[in-house]
Structure 1
């Protein structure tokens, strides 16, 4: 390659002009652009904008995301005053003229609404996917020449290297409070050089550090086979052919279908076989789109990201007792793993697989070939063999436990039958894969008391999990619906209104799911084990 000698920056007056203009900051509809000086960000001297504000405005404000106000109103733009030679010469050679030139740009009307030169179409996407010119509103803003924007009145946030998201395709909570502190801690280039000279650069430098415990890992889709209409069996393996992390029956994994779709699926294989993870994924045409996209793009050979196995639905130790594994439809997947584990341990169990029609029962052929097939009974409603839950679960013996996963109505029927049959509450276990019908709860403000005596207020529009995250605690939030259980916290004192679908009655005595559950009384206080 040819060696090149770098030259020095060419100063044509632009930065001096910008320091005196601030028109882009004044006209930014989200208030994301600083009206202050250049500061050091990730080792660069820059006028750092609040990218979170800018992005939130463009992605969430109705009426169009094509903002571009900063470019449209800039006097150095092709539509600005500096397109004229005399003004450009003055801006480049007479820095003192910059404030006057900026006001002149306003006076001649540059940056105002110009319908002839807009670059977007007034179209809106309709519910059926079509586009229409029947537009509710379009973002149109006049310039605000009378606005006196002051740097000291701005509250901006930045996300330098230490606050940056990890490089994994997995949710990452942005901490805006820390980002505001990070903006306020930025220094000028002169101060930065002084720190360099004095050997104290660590006090102000932005250095990225990566947590070695990655939230996700890459796997290979080694098998994708349709077992029944709308039901696909996936096998995921290590791309290098090595063993996957250990897991126990009842575990699930988070699957990164795409950046906007993180989905939880129960592991349906044999926990002793670490060469692959097995999933059964039912396409939900009326769902939120995750399973439909997964069916479309998860083909054999594709590399995808998943979490390590997480288990909130383990098999309990019940010496001498029998485990009743009740799977309705796709809810049979965790029961298959449980049956493998129980068989390997030589424990007594029975698996009952309930389906509406045999042609939609994708797992019945697979279950016919397992070494414990004699313990499996398939119930097909269309063939008149619907499970008689009262008869199956009507005679509880000491040590018996029942495990259930499936549609809401099925699980409720199983739990009712188990309760009537004498199964105590701590012997009845559920796993939800969708949010069931919930009562009409009313949120009230309440308080969380920490072990060190601090009290954190939780407003009616906040969750306990979000407040704990804001306070600096590492609280994972995935479903936000109270069904995955990753945000569980210990409870030391206080009455809790439990709104989750994870914890048993016994577990609720000492724990709560912080993304949903709240204090029973308005203004109540829950003392937690943090």
Structure 2
């Protein structure tokens, strides 16, 4: 899938919460940015080897400015530290996107559940749901109020927004929340993995939409298999402990990729033959069952051979 890639500049920067910085990004010439819809994210190409994904959390109607918010993660891999320490106002950065694996589907009723920095993709969804006249509410959890971004901007929604910092309320009461869930409610959830896992245990898959910050499980034992590059007619062996993406790159074939953790969807590749073993956090259950696409940065093969649309 081809996506735009272009230079941008940080036109504004401000604290959004304790440990969270919000950046407004624009083209250097002030020209229009690619259109996007709620749930979309963008790649920040900070260095060739340092690419990170952040949700767009501004107004999709603003064609000149994109907004992201980044939580500093001391135990992270360097992306958030780079954004916090090395992207002041007027800094240049390379952008790639937008992509949307977390789209807001039309519905009469929504329940949004956000944990910490997981509020970012939810923000434009709230505005869209409100503008559509849908019945909706947001339950927003975090460690403390000081750590929860964009609280001021949520205040005008009134009683539809339920702010629940853990130091005041404890953990979110998910049992109570979903026991009273009205029928035909679409649930959108973004946040840390324990929250997502707990919500998945309580909400039917057909009603639930989640976005993860971390990759899927890779606990299954690896075995070697062959990948045939359908367009090129080449065969590449993928040994144990090596991803399809890395094996293909080692064979001299360039493939667009970004997170390498199965969370961003950049390396999505069509499957022509064979059955993938899906290990990503992007595809829905229905998309996995179809087995016609896979994320080659983490997923593998359930047999001895895959033919890919490369």
Q: Shorter chain as normaliser: what TM range?
A: 0.7 to 0.9
CA positional deviation for 1:444? 1.1
* 1:434 Cα deviation from its structure 2 partner: 3.0
Q: Aligned-pair distance for 1:470?
A: 6.8
Counterpart selection for 2:162 from 377, 384, 388: 377
**Alpha-carbon distance in 1 for matches of 2:174, 2:72:** 28
Structure 2 distance, partners of 1:508, 1:362, is: 33
| TM-score, normalising length: structure 2 | 0.87
* Alignment partners' CA distance in 1, 2:134 and 2:120: 19
Which one has a larger percent strand, Structure 1 or Structure 2? Answer: 2
C-alpha distance in structure 2 between counterparts of 1:504 and 1:324, whole Å? 19
Aligned residues: 306
Contact preservation (8 Å) 2:231, 2:309: no
Q: Secondary structure at the match of 1:307?
A: strand
Counterpart secondary structure, 1:359: helix
Contact between 1:458 and 1:467, CA under 8 Å: does it hold in 2? yes
Q: Which residue of 1 aligns with 2:116?
A: 329
**In structure 1, which of residues 211, 216, 221 is the aligned counterpart of residue 10 of structure 2?**
221
Q: Give the Cα–Cα distance (whole angstroms) in 1 for the partners of residues 254 and 106 of structure 2.
A: 30
Distance 1:275 1:493 in 2: 43
Does the 8 Å contact 1:456/1:467 carry over to 2?
no
* Structure 2 SS opposite 1:221: strand
Partner of 1:409: 194
Where structure 2 has 5 or more consecutive residues not aligned to the other structure, the ranges are: none
Q: Which has the higher contact order (CA 8 A, sep 6+)?
A: 2
The two structures, once aligned, show a CA RMSD in angstroms of 2.7
Residue 276 (structure 1) aligned with residue 65 (structure 2)? yes
1:265 partnered with 2:54: yes
1 CA distance for matches of 2:93 and 2:260? 23
Task: Quote the residue 1:516 is aligned against.
Answer: 298
2:210 aligned with 1:430, yes or no? yes
For residue 293 of structure 1, what is the aligned residue in structure 2? 82
Name the SS of the counterpart of 1:417 in structure 2.
coil
Displacement, 1:374?
4.0
How many Å separate the matches in 2 of 1:469 and 1:248?
32
Structure 1 residues 396, 450: CA separation in 2 closer, same or farther (over 3 Å shift)? farther
State the alpha-carbon separation in 2 of the partners of residues 255 and 519 from structure 1: 30
How far did 1:315 drift? 1.5
Q: 1:293: Cα distance to partner?
A: 2.0
Residues 214 and 261 in structure 2, CA contact (< 8 A), matched pair in contact too = no
TM-score, normalised via structure 1 length: 0.53
User: Is the Cα–Cα contact under 8 Å of residues 230 and 283 in structure 1 kept in the other structure?
Assistant: yes
**Does 476-485 or 391-400 show the bigger shift?**
391-400
Q: 1:358 aligns with which of 141, 145, 154?
A: 145
CA contact (8 A) 1:271 1:340 kept: no
> Residues of 1 paired with 2:158 and 2:250: CA distance?
50
Residue 526 (structure 1) aligned to one of 261, 284, 306:
306
Query: Within 2, Cα distance between the matches of 1:375 and 1:242?
Result: 36
1:441 deviates by 3.0
* Structure (1 or 2) with the larger CA radius of gyration: 1
Q: Equivalences for 1:387-402 in 2 at 5 Å? A: 387-402=172-187
**Contact 2:214–2:281 under 8 Å retained in 1:** no
* Displacement of 1:495: 3.1
Correspondence for 1:345 among 128, 132, 136: 132
Q: In 2, Cα distance between the equivalents of 1:305 and 1:503?
A: 26
Whether the 8 Å contact between 1:426 and 1:504 is mirrored in structure 2 is no
Per the alignment, residue 44 of structure 2 pairs with 255
User: Is the Cα–Cα contact under 8 Å of residues 188 and 209 in structure 2 kept in the other structure?
Assistant: yes
